[in-house]
Structure 1
Amino acid sequence: MPSPVAAAAYVQPPATLRPGATGALVQTLQGRLNAHGASLKVDGDFGPATLAALVAFQKSTGLAGDGICGPMSWRALA
């Protein structure tokens, strides 16, 4: 059984986001991308501009530029 300290250190990444997603979590993604150099309107719409910024960010960090913001992308954006 893992120790309570080890278990407390784990943070579940946010949900996986794909083009077409909307809402507060997309706004978080857009804000994190802006913090890493993008110039997105933080509108909560995962449209073409967010997709392009995410793919560029993924490629710049050595991730697959698939345009899907999953656990590895969230970790890199942290």
Structure 2
Amino acid sequence: MARPIWSGILSFGLVSVPVSLYAATESHAVAFRQIQRGTSDRVRNKRVNERTGEEVAFGDIVKGFELAEGEYVVV
């Protein structure tokens, strides 16, 4: 068994609880997929230009604030 990084005691009034902190040895991450309800078909996110309909690369996307109709300030 692994050795603890830190050991201590938590006290709650008259009750003391021993505590040990261990380093993580493996990843327990959960990855979810987006699927359509009912059909279980996979759903993907595409970045598409509204005017041309072409897909835009992630590196070409910036944030902007709309001043007037069609006029933006890039932030």
TM range (shorter): under 0.3
- Structure with the higher strand share, 1 or 2: 2
Larger-Rg structure: 2
Higher relative contact order (CA 8 A, sep 6+): 1
- Structure with the higher helix share, 1 or 2: 1
